[in-house]
Amino acid sequence: MSLSTLYIDYQVADFPEVLSIQSRLNIPAEIVYDIKQVYNTLSSATDPVEKGKNVLYLTRNKGAFIKTCPGTSAYTCCGYKILHIGTFCTMDCSYCILQTYFHPPLLQFFVNHDDLDIELDNLFAQKNISRIGTGEFTDSMIWEKWTDLSGHLVKRFSKQNKAVLELKTKTTNIRKLESLSHNRKTITSWSVNTDAVICSEERNTTSLSSRLKAAAQCEAWGYPVAFHFDPMVIYDGCEEEYMNVVKQIFAHVSPDNIVWISIGSFRFIPSLKQLIQKRFPDSRIVYGEFISGLDGKMRYFKPLRINLYKKIVACIKQYAPEIMIYFCMEDDEVWEKCMGFVPSDRGGLPCMLDSSAVKICGVR
């Protein structure tokens, strides 16, 4: 999907990052003095979500760049930190929470990178290990065509030993990573799913095969890698298809270079259901056996989740018995029945993930 319009916050019009992005985009640009002007344009569209994927707004991040992952006390959280570089995504996954998280959804890229660097300096000065990623409110690598941010971040992280940067994506936009000195402090990671789910629910994304080939290439360039089975979708035959995904992962990359693999099933806030039905009329994703979870999200009936998780965990362990596997937003019962322990038995999930980062990425 290509951009059609570029809006520029008047306060950043002369920023070097803005001038650089403008030079790479051959599209109309308009200086904006009130963000409501952009919002009104999007809100009046027949499909504001689709329209928002074609419009880029360059502005400054008026809040913090580094945030704590918005977990919930009802489920085990990993203690991740978010590097808030921008919002929304050019890809179009039916299940994406960003469709309802932003009102209206808009591609925003923050250009006040001097402020970002100050926050990174403070992060690197801390004594504790930090795991931080750019893929919470956007895909980490969609910005590669227009910006040099990933290269800047990789270089910054390479010069310290207290934090790892995770770049999570469904793209294959890795070309710029080849020539960077990364010192194994950047983890290249991919969201993975079955071919059936990618085909039916993940518009404008790359194929599973392409993602895994990109992972293999990044491993060849010396980068640690990671994978995220999230959201797993339950449907007839899904167990065998997810186990096939596992098989393909280990056919492409070495278990010794995988920092972690996360597992989570499809969950959604109730208001997302109507939007999925409207924008993806052929999708069957919202018609499974769901109940309301402790966080107010609709989740698959727990025995169904556990049944699928147990099979996938066992399959992964066949290839890599010692690999770090964790559940995204699940409770102790799920951990106990699928893994045979709960995170608190091993110092807590953040401690487990930190240990894997120490082992594979060399942080200390």
The whole-number pLDDT of residue 36 equals 93
Asked if residue 245 lies in contact with residue 76, where contact means CB atoms within 8 angstroms, the answer is no
The whole-number pLDDT of residue 67 equals 92
The pLDDT confidence band at residue 19, using thresholds 50, 70 and 90, is: very high
The whole-number pLDDT of residue 339 equals 97
The pLDDT confidence band at residue 101, using thresholds 50, 70 and 90, is: confident
Question: Mean pLDDT for the chain?
Answer: 95
The pLDDT confidence band at residue 79, using thresholds 50, 70 and 90, is: confident
Kindly report, residue by residue over 174-217, the tens digit of the pLDDT: 999 999 999 999 999 999 999 999 999 999 999 999 999 999 99
Average pLDDT over every residue of 314-343: 96
The pLDDT confidence band at residue 1, using thresholds 50, 70 and 90, is: low
The pLDDT confidence band at residue 74, using thresholds 50, 70 and 90, is: low
Which of 70-79, 195-204, 244-253 is predicted least confidently? 70-79
pLDDT over 80 (residue 336)? yes
Average pLDDT over every residue of 242-248: 98
Kindly report, residue by residue over 266-305, the tens digit of the pLDDT: 999 999 999 999 999 999 999 999 999 988 899 999 999 9
The pLDDT confidence band at residue 76, using thresholds 50, 70 and 90, is: confident
Structural domains of the chain sorted by starting position, each given as residue range(s) with its CATH number in brackets? 63-97+113-361 (3.80.30.30)
The whole-number pLDDT of residue 103 equals 78
The whole-number pLDDT of residue 170 equals 98
The whole-number pLDDT of residue 108 equals 96
pLDDT over 80 (residue 73)? no
pLDDT over 90 (residue 72)? no
Its pTM stands at: 0.96
pLDDT over 80 (residue 243)? yes
